[in-house]
Amino acid sequence: MEFELRRAKEKLEKEQRERKEKAKLKLERERKAKQEALRQREAFEAAQRARRLEAAEAEAKANEQMEEERLAGRGVMFYRILEAVLYQGDGDKIKLPTSCFTELSEQGAFEKGPLHFSVSVILQESPSEMQKSETQSHRTTHAGVLEFTAGEGSVGLPPHVWSNLFPAEIPTSKLVEVRYVWLPKGTFAKLQPNEFGFSDIPNHKAVLETSLRQHATLSEGDILRVNHGSLTYNLRVLELRPSSSVSVLETDIEVDIIGSDLDAEKTTQNMLRPLIFGKSESGVVDEGSYMYYKFSLDENVWNRISSGDAEIEIKIDQQTQDGDTDLYVSKHPLLFPTRHQHGWSSHDIGSKVLVLSSKDQSLGPGTYSIGIYGYKGKTSYYVSAIIQETSKPKLGQQSTILSSVAEADTIECRNCKHYIPSRTIALHEAYCSRHNIICKHPSCGVVLRIEEAKNHVHCEKCGNAFQTGEIDKHMKVFHEPLHCPCGIVLEKEQMVQHQSHDCPLRLVTCRFCGDMVQAGTSAADVRDRLRGLSEHESVCGSRTAPCDSCGRSVMLKDMDIHQVAVHQKN
């Protein structure tokens, strides 16, 4: 019995030991599994970090290599220190000495595509200015090359390059470093005008494209000057892709133009303020200055006007007694109407109203500018543009009135020449001869009250009738000689006609580039003259573009003939 108890006890102890060993082994396996999982996770994270580091190093190495290739010029090592000389020209192309042509040619630079150069200012300062110069970054821009005709030791810089290297200051040192570089073709550019109104230019991206044709490069931080007729806009280059400096030759660039960050109330330049139909805007204009507004005429409103159901009424309510204004209106692309160039005008003293209706051949859908000119003194005003419904007489009303007049027994008054009923003609003539007088001017004949006759005067030159207080303004506005930039001297109405249709310096819209250019003389080519092309359009139309139908390169001025002759398109 005792033996069996001992065996049972030993068996129990053995089973307990085995269970403890199994539990211990299980814990050990779980511990090792956790350690292995932790090790694998750490290894995975380490591998990820290594890959990220490798990618970052590869990217840094690629950027460094790209920068080295750009600076090194892809095997072309050209570097000169030259004295900057300003020359008048457009674009960003510089003039280099003849020796530079030889050096670049020997290194095969001309076989690598268009030539691009970085141009940097070399600061030469006294020791007292050294500390100040260390805080300033060296100004650098990029340029193409126009020709190799500059004098030895000098480089010709156009105004674009000069102003970006030496902005608004007289340079103490004109030494610049010219280095050959390779630039990638640009794909994106973000620009910001320094002035208001650039987006008001009709087809302003076409105007920008025309300006960029004169450039070979763009660099971040540069100021790009865009001329549109007599207007000049400065656009700052904020961002470029794929590099901070790019080539703009033979490439399509996506352009993003953001608004100016200047305060509209503090600007001193002309700008177009939006004017909403039916809403008045207040303003103040100084003598000799202009204030400009704009409104748009859409198709719906134009349909009402063209059908005779409505008309546009532009009104100026003058708030200042001592001042006076003139009103000018133009249709775009003439953005800023002036005394010499406008489509419509009003010169009444005090408040004035200008009505535009379907009778005006120049009226149509589009954008219009209103110019308020300070003729005398500082003037406060309210300006408004209203779509006014026209009042049409009822059917039969006018004919009834005419018939009643015709049927009445009337006699012509010997004084005022009006037809008066015969039963009252004696009483009328007695009253009329005492109180009324007829103007003796040959082209007038208006009947005036005797007390009003002394204020009724006629212009000695044109014969129009005015009040005594209006004749001085009329003589100054309409008959004072005006000088056109082309050299001709005319009075106001002839000058408006001259600058609208005849002046070779007048601004017209090129049918090929969309830019506002001087009309100039007729084209040199006889065929272009027969097509009615101006001097600029003859040159601009010589550019080629692929045909939409066949892909052939055709001159822009021959595209319509090509479409008809080859593709039988109307």
pLDDT tens column, 98-136:
999 999 999 888 888 899 999 999 876 544 444 444 434
pLDDT tens column, 186-233:
999 999 998 887 888 877 887 888 888 889 999 999 999 988 777 788
* Residues 473/375, Cβ–Cβ less than 8 Å: yes
Q: Which two tokens stand for residue 300?
A: 């719906």
SS3 291: strand
Helices vs strands, H then E, count in the chain: 14, 33
Cα separation of 348 and 373, whole Å?
Answer: 12
Give the model's confidence band at 72: pLDDT under 50 very low, under 70 low, under 90 confident, else very high. Answer: low
pLDDT exceeds cutoff 80 at 401: no
Residue 459: count other Cβ atoms within 10 Å of its Cβ: 15
pLDDT tens column, 147-182:
999 999 999 999 999 999 988 666 666 889 999 998
pLDDT tens column, 256-273:
988 876 655 556 668 889
Q: What is the mean pLDDT of the chain?
A: 84
Cα separation of 324 and 352, whole Å?
Answer: 10
* Long-range residue pairs from 316-319, CB within 8 A, at least 24 positions apart, any chain: 316/351, 316/352, 316/353, 316/372, 316/381, 316/382, 316/383, 317/280, 317/351, 317/381, 317/382, 317/383, 317/384, 318/350, 318/351, 318/352, 318/379, 318/380, 318/381, 319/379, 319/380, 319/381, 319/382
